[in-house]
Amino acid sequence: MTPQHYMTYDALRDAVQNGDTVAVHARGVYGAALRMGAMGPHGHVGLVRRVLIDGIERVFVVEENPGGGRYTPLRHYQHSQLDIYSAPERVDGHAASAHAVHMLDGLADYDFKDIRRLARWGLVRLAARLFDDPMPEPHETEVTEGQGGVICSALVTAAYKRSGWVPPGPCGWPSALTQHLGTPRITYQPTH
């Protein structure tokens, strides 16, 4: 499947569906650190949720960030490079986004210790790459079953799993998840 490519926010907004994964490309120091650790291009993920508010359809990203889970208008990412992945095969995207919404309760403990944990894994993977060792993966419980909070990729993975998805491998950080989702359906490169 060849991804559809959009350069305008309005075209992107019209094309996304409930349960799509929005994968934001990492930039700057964070992006460089992910690349050095062979952790892929994506620094953040969330799930699309379309909602009617006073008769107007709004498009949100249900996501987990330091400080807690939240609904962010998709427009917040209009100046970011994005890849959009469909919900996994046989997963109802509406149900998955509903599960993500329900999981936001109680997930406000996500903080910078999770970022440090990902950075540690990046360093471990960088060392493995430098010495041609097999690339290690974190245990799933280390990133998806934290006490009180989970990172962004764990929220998306858990929502899909509650909707019947069995991931073919670990989804310990955003690009590990998107790798298992396959080819993006949409790519978005904003015009500036």
Q: What is the mean pLDDT of the chain?
A: 79
Comparing 175 with 30, which gets the higher pLDDT? 175
What pLDDT is stored for residue 30 in this prediction?
Answer: 62
pLDDT of residue 154: 84
| Separation between Cα atoms, residue 46 and residue 71, nearest integer Å | 9
pLDDT at 127: 53
Q: Looking at residue 45, what is its pLDDT?
A: 93
Q: What is the mean predicted confidence (pLDDT) over 98-117?
A: 65
pLDDT band of 119, cuts 50, 70, 90? low
pLDDT for residue 144: 44
Domain 4-188: which topology? endopeptidase fold (from Nostoc punctiforme) (3.90.1720)
The model's pLDDT over 85-94, given as tens digits with 9 standing for 90+, comes to 999 999 999 9
Query: CA 187 → CA 27, 86, 162, 192, distances in Å?
Result: 16, 12, 26, 16
**Lowest mean pLDDT, pick from 71-85, 93-107, 129-143:** 129-143
Residue-range domain boundaries for the chain? 4-188
pLDDT at 79: 93
Other Cβ atoms closer than 10 A to 167:
15
Identify the band that residue 95 occupies on the pLDDT scale cut at 50, 70 and 90. Answer: very high
**Of residues 108 and 82, which shows the higher confidence score?**
82
Residue 174 one-letter amino acid: P
Q: pLDDT of 6-30, one tens digit each?
A: 889 999 999 999 999 999 998 776 6
DSSP per position, the chain: -PPEEE-SHHHHHHH--TTPEEEEEP-HHHHHHHHHTT--SEEEEEEEEEEEETTEEEEEEEEEETTEEEEEEGGGGTTS-EEEEPPPTT--HHHHHHHHHHHTTT-TT--HHHHHHHHHHHHHHHHHHHTTPPPP---HHHHHS-SS---HHHHHHHHHHHTT---SS---SHHHHHHHH-S-SEEE----
Rounded CA separation 126/121 (Å): 8
pLDDT tens string 26-85: 877 665 665 665 567 888 899 999 998 899 999 999 998 766 678 899 999 999 999 999
